[in-house]
Chain A
Amino acid sequence: MTGNQYSGKNKNPDNNDAIVVKNLSKQFRIPHERKITVYQHLAGLIAGSYSYEIFDALKDVSFTVKHGETFGVIGPNGSGKSTLLKILAGVLYPDKGTVQMNGKIAPFLELGVGFHPDLTAEENIYLYGAIMGLTKKAIASKYEEILDFAELKRFENMKLKNFSSGMAVRLAFSTAIQTNPDILLVDEVLAVGDESFQRKCSQKIDEIRRGGKTILLVSHDLGMVQRLCERCVLIKDGLVKSSGSAERVVKDYKNILSPGNMMP
């Protein structure tokens, strides 16, 4: 069992590894009949039935990510990628194994977490910034930069509910990018906004990458993974099927995907 070691407190300068995952396993209990009320629980007690299936989302997953590395996680739908990312972000607790994160992390599992439609763009920047771990002072000093990057200066005092979804996501990305983390956890959120904004985003991500930050990227876009990542793991049915250089892992993945072509 593990405690919560998700904070950046255990920062160790001698440690080259940004993320160390050891023998990580996660099980989900999926009840046949989901009970979510007191009534259903009481009825269940009388009937004496509690049956569930165990679903192994992750089985004995281990890997390490070095500081300054861009690391890809690929695999088919339902293979456990998102579960892994949520455990790294500290949202889910692992059943077995340990996770060590050396540095301040910024989880980009979803952009605009906590955005409120009834608040203005300005208020949302402060709220979202605070959720992402920025102090009020830090947000105030970056405020103009955020609005400029999002190209939303004109709409500063407009309520979020009047924004288009593209505008909202631009605002979210611009705010989130200001958190200045050591480790970024990214779940396919790079494709935001229109094409010109997308280009800006990839530029920004590249900039962060070159700035020596660690990025863990979960994606279906094999081209992007090959382009951005140095190393990769392939996860299928909760197991690490392949790991190593991005090129090789992507090739392995393509082998699995094409039918009649079994893995060695």
Chain B
Amino acid sequence: MWLMQYRDLIWNLTITDLKIKYQSSVLGFAWSLLNPLLMMLVLYFVFANVFRFNQEHFALYILVGIIAWRFLANGTSTAMLSIVAKPSLVTKIYIPRHILVLSSTLSSFISSILEFCVLIPLLFVFGANITPYILFFPIAHAIFFFIVYGLSLVLAALYVYYRDLNQIWEVVIQLGFFLAPICYPITIVPPKFLPYYVLNPVTILIETYRNFLIYGVPPGLRSMVYLVVSAAMLMIIGKLVFKRFERRFAEVI
């Protein structure tokens, strides 16, 4: 089984990734926290004071949305480059290539967990309704991991052949930010669009996080099933696409 055989390598690549990411400055990790906090402040100011949205715990509401979204946005856009960024590991030695995507996704996953950890004291400060349902976090985040990993497999494989895919994906991510309920309450979505709006797994996911983190409500069974099915489908598509394109990586890279 490749996962067991290569576990030391996967872990090593993941840790290396994190080290490089955070060692560039003393503040390293602190900078990566500052970003979502500042985003939250700006968005809170605009949407709470200018648009006057009325949502309970709106500051936390935005913050949870941003932190969850960051895993998807950062995870996919760095993992997309993971194959091309390490050409010698593709052309000079054989290792299963999806290991590169996996370790990149894992390093974003760990960053994301750290960001959520910093969120916890803020939950108390802003008076969220904290209940044992918060323990759903590992399950939700594991599902989220497979969503990001599945997407990343597709993107990383395609990026080897289409080098402007990152530009296109950047636009998609920007659109996605406003198509998911991150900086506005889901209640402002017009009812006729709502059935399509909730088809987006990321919408369901972010709402699920908010339910158990802020409002102390367990996630709905239907939401969880929908998320698991979406993650499984993305993983299957990711594996198939990656396998299809992997053969000629070393020739094209």
- Binary per-residue interface labels of chain A (68-107) against chain B in the complex, 1 for a CB within 8 Å, 0 otherwise: 0000000000000000001001111100000000000001
B247 touches A93 (CB 8 A): yes
Contact A91 B91 (CB under 8 A): yes
Contacting residues, chain A, for B251 (C-beta < 8 A): 28, 92
- Residue of B whose beta carbon sits closest to that of A127: B12
Contact of A6 among B16, B19, B92, B94 (CB under 8 A): B94
Q: How many residues of B are in contact with the other chain, CB < 8 A? A: 27
Contact code string A171-199 (vs B, CB < 8 Å = 1, else 0) = 00000000000000000000000000000
Partner of A107, one of B20, B90, B94: B94
State the B residues within 8 Å of A (CB): 8-9, 12-13, 16, 19-20, 23, 86, 88-95, 161-165, 168, 247-248, 250-251
Are B162 and A36 neighbours in the complex by a CB distance under 8 Å? yes
Within the complex, the shortest CB–CB distance from B162 to chain A, in Å, comes to 5
Are B94 and A131 in contact, with the CB atoms below 8 A? no
Q: Which of A97-153 contact B (CB under 8 A)?
A: 107, 109-110, 113-114, 116, 118-119, 123, 126-127, 130-136
Q: Chain B residues near A131 (CB, 8 Å)?
A: 9, 89, 93, 95
18 extra interchain contacts, Cβ-Cβ under 8 A, other than A91-B94, A119-B20?
A6-B94, A37-B163, A38-B162, A38-B164, A38-B168, A90-B94, A91-B92, A92-B251, A114-B86, A116-B20, A119-B19, A127-B13, A127-B16, A130-B13, A131-B93, A131-B95, A134-B8, A135-B8
Q: For chain A residues 227-245, which have a beta carbon within 8 Å of chain B?
A: none
Residue on A nearest B24 in the bound complex, by CB: A118
Q: Which residues of A contact B162 (CB under 8 A)?
A: 36-38, 41
A130 vs B168: C-alpha distance when bound (angstroms)? 35
- Which residues from chain B contact A133 at a C-beta distance below 8 Å? 9
* Least CB distance, B108 to chain A, in whole angstroms: 18
Q: A137: nearest residue on chain B (CB-CB)?
A: B8
Q: Are A110 and B8 in contact (CB under 8 A)?
A: no
Measured between beta carbons, the chain A residues less than 8 angstroms from B13 are: 127, 130
Q: Which residue of A lies closest to B87 (CB)?
A: A113
Counting chain B CB atoms within 10 Å of each CB, the highest count among A89, A91, A119, A136 belongs to A91
Which residues does chain B contribute within 8 Å of A119, judged by CB atoms?
16, 19-20
A200 to B162, CA, bound (A): 45
Residues of B within 8 A of A135 (CB): 8
Kindly report which residue of chain B lies nearest to residue A134, judged by CB atoms.
B8
Given the contacts A36-B161, A135-B8, A136-B8, A109 and B92 also touching, CB distance less than 8 Å? yes
Q: 15 A-B Cβ contacts within 8 A? A: A36-B161, A36-B162, A41-B162, A89-B92, A91-B92, A92-B251, A107-B92, A110-B92, A114-B93, A119-B19, A123-B16, A127-B16, A130-B9, A134-B8, A135-B8
Q: A92-B250, A130-B8 are in contact. Are A86 and B91 (CB under 8 A)?
A: yes
Complex CA gap A160/B248 in Å reads 31
